[in-house]
Amino acid sequence: MAAPDSPVTQDELHALVDGELPADRLTAVSAWLATHPDDAALVAQWRGQAEAVRARYGAVADEPVPARFNVDRLAANGTQRPWRSIAAAVALALLAGGVGGWVAHSTSEASANPADVFTSEALGAHQLYIAEMRHPIEVRAHEQHLLPWLSRRVGTTLQAPDLSTFDLKLLGGRLLPGATGPAALMMYEGANGERYTIYCARRTAARAALSYSATNDTAAVRWMDSEFGYAVSGPANRERLLGIAEAVYDQLARPRTDAQQLISKRGS
Amino acid sequence: MAAFRHSIQEQIPALRRYARALTRDAELADDLVQDTLVRALRSEHLFHGGELRSWLYTILTNLNRNRLRSLARRPTLMAIDDNDAPDAAGPEAGARDIERALDSLVDDQRTALLLVVLEGMSYREVAEVQGVPIGTVMSRLARARAHIKGYLEGQRPVLRRVK
Confidence of residue A148 (pLDDT cuts 50, 70, 90): confident
pLDDT score of B51: 84
Residue A50 near chain B (CB below 8 Å): yes
pLDDT score of A85: 43
Instruction: Using a pLDDT cut of 70, give the percent of chain B over it.
Output: 77
Q: Which of B16, B125, B67 is nearest to A98 (CA)?
A: B67
Chain A residue closest in CA terms to B67: A131
Residue B155 has pLDDT above 70, yes or no: no
Question: What CATH architecture does domain B1-77 belong to?
Answer: Orthogonal Bundle (1.10)
DSSP A212: E
* Angstroms from B163 CA to nearest CA on chain A: 25
ipTM: 0.84
* Beta bridge pairs of residue A188: A170, A196
pLDDT score of B105: 93
CATH no. of A84-267: 3.30.200.100
Partner-chain contact A49 B149, CB within 8 Å? yes
Q: Which of A139, A140, A134 is nearest to A91 (CA)?
A: A134
Domain ranges within chain A, ordered by starting residue: 10-61, 84-267
* Angstroms from A124 CA to nearest CA on chain B: 9
The pLDDT of A130-147, averaged and rounded, is 80
Q: Locate CATH 1.10.10.10 in chain B.
A: 81-163
pLDDT score of A107: 36
pLDDT score of B118: 96
Residue A68 near chain B (CB below 8 Å): yes
What residue ranges in chain A does DSSP mark as E strands?
139-140, 168-178, 181-190, 195-202, 208-215, 218-224, 228-235, 264-267
Q: Locate CATH 1.10.1740.10 in chain B.
A: 1-77
Backbone angles phi, psi at A210, to 5 degrees: -60, 135
Q: Which of A141, A176, A182, A183 is nearest to A162 (CA)?
A: A141
Instruction: Give the separation between CA B79 and CA A89, rounded to whole angstroms.
Output: 19
Instruction: Tell me the pLDDT of chain A averaged across its residues.
Output: 78
pLDDT score of A255: 42
Of A43-57, A221-235, A237-251, B87-101, least confident by mean pLDDT is B87-101
Chain A residue closest in CA terms to B32: A86
Instruction: Using a pLDDT cut of 70, give the percent of chain A over it.
Output: 79
pLDDT score of A1: 52
Q: Cβ(A13)–Cβ(A29) under 8 Å? A: yes
Q: What letter represents residue B47's amino acid?
A: F
Contacts (Cβ under 8 Å, ≥6 apart) of A64: none
Residue A134 has pLDDT above 60, yes or no: yes
Residue by residue, DSSP assigns A116-184 as HHHHHHHHHHHHHHHT-SS-S-SEETTSTTHHHHHHHHHTS-------GGGTEEEEEEEEEEETTEEEE
Instruction: Using a pLDDT cut of 90, give the percent of chain A over it.
Output: 35
Q: Cβ(B112)–Cβ(B140) under 8 Å? A: yes
DSSP A94: I
pLDDT score of A121: 85
Q: Cβ(A229)–Cβ(A202) under 8 Å? A: yes
Q: Cβ(A124)–Cβ(A178) under 8 Å? A: no
Confidence of residue A198 (pLDDT cuts 50, 70, 90): very high
Confidence of residue B72 (pLDDT cuts 50, 70, 90): low
Q: Which CATH topology does B81-163 take?
A: Arc Repressor Mutant, subunit A (1.10.10)
B118 contact residues in A (CB cutoff 8 A): 53-54, 57-58
Enumerate residues 23 to 82 of chain B having a beta carbon within 8 A of any beta carbon in chain A.
Answer: 27-28, 30-35, 37-39, 41-43, 46-47, 55, 58-59, 62-63, 65-67, 69-75
Chain B residue closest in CA terms to A63: B13
Confidence of residue A195 (pLDDT cuts 50, 70, 90): very high
Contacts (Cβ under 8 Å, ≥6 apart) of A142: none
* Beta bridge pairs of residue A175: A184
The pLDDT of A121-150, averaged and rounded, is 83
By the 10 Å C-beta count (0-12 exposed, 13-18 middle, 19+ buried), B85 is classed as middle
Handedness of CA A71, A72, A78, A81 (dihedral sign): negative
Contacts (Cβ under 8 Å, ≥6 apart) of B43: A191
Question: Whole-model pTM?
Answer: 0.56
pLDDT score of A184: 93
Dihedral (C-alpha) A73, A79, A80, A85: value to the nearest 10 degrees?
100
The pLDDT of A51-60, averaged and rounded, is 94
Helical residues (DSSP H) of chain B, grouped into ranges:
2-23, 26-42, 52-71, 90-103, 107-117, 123-130, 134-162
Q: Which of B76, B75, B93 is nearest to B84 (CA)?
A: B93
Per DSSP, the three-state class of A8 is coil
Q: What angle do CA A154, A159, A165 make, to 5 degrees?
A: 140
Chain A residue closest in CA terms to B74: A97
